[in-house]
Structure 1
Amino acid sequence: MTIRPTNLAVTTRVYTDMAESRTATIHLYRRFLRQVPGIIRLYQAEIPLAVGRSKLRQEFERQRYVTSLPVISILIAKGNMEYQETVNFWKQKAQLFKYFAQEEYPERYARKTFVDKFLEGTA
């Protein structure tokens, strides 16, 4: 199966209506959600399907309370670019796994107090 990048390309646009941007966001989310099994297979990721889908949901939820239409337009455009790069296998494995780094190495991302950092010599 050959993938033609132009089939996945979406024209960038500026949204002027909140309902329109909501529809575009849901459309992007569903496209990503349908491709999670294929992405896991393509990148040979040894993560469960549920973890991939929950991470996708988490990334969308991070931007949930953005209300500025120009910012929403940029986020949707970036999301479409991420989708095209990921599905076309234009990313390196490391670029994909940066989203899962917090789950893989929780000790690296654990919140440390000043004393902990001082004792480690990083403060």
Structure 2
Amino acid sequence: MTEPTVNSQIKDAVQTSTNWALGFAPLEQGTPSTSTRVSAGGAIAYDKATQAAALSVQDAADYQRNMLSISTTVQGKAMAMMLASGGMNEPALVAYAMALVSSFAAPIAAGLAAESVTTAVKTFPRN
């Protein structure tokens, strides 16, 4: 049985696209040197990593917004409990204090998450 033959143009096209995608394509006049050139695969990986990083920063902002909304609601409910009872009662005071703590912690947590994501993107290998 004979081996199937593949058109040489198809072989060349596959080899050229593979070389280009992996960054092995020969340098032509006007292209950057091999030390500064980024392969298409590396560029795609960097693009996907930064896209994931952007989504995680967005999630951190959503977390902060949700926590602040919840803590504001708890503070309002605790204040209503204090006003309804005519003074400071312990459950309302504890709820109010916990809501204040969570409203302070939410921006700190979101900021730390955003900072770590930014550091990860800055140190991501680009080639």
TM (normalized to structure 2)?
A: 0.26
TM (normalized to structure 1)?
A: 0.27
Between 1 and 2, higher relative CO (CA 8 Å, sep ≥ 6) is seen in 1
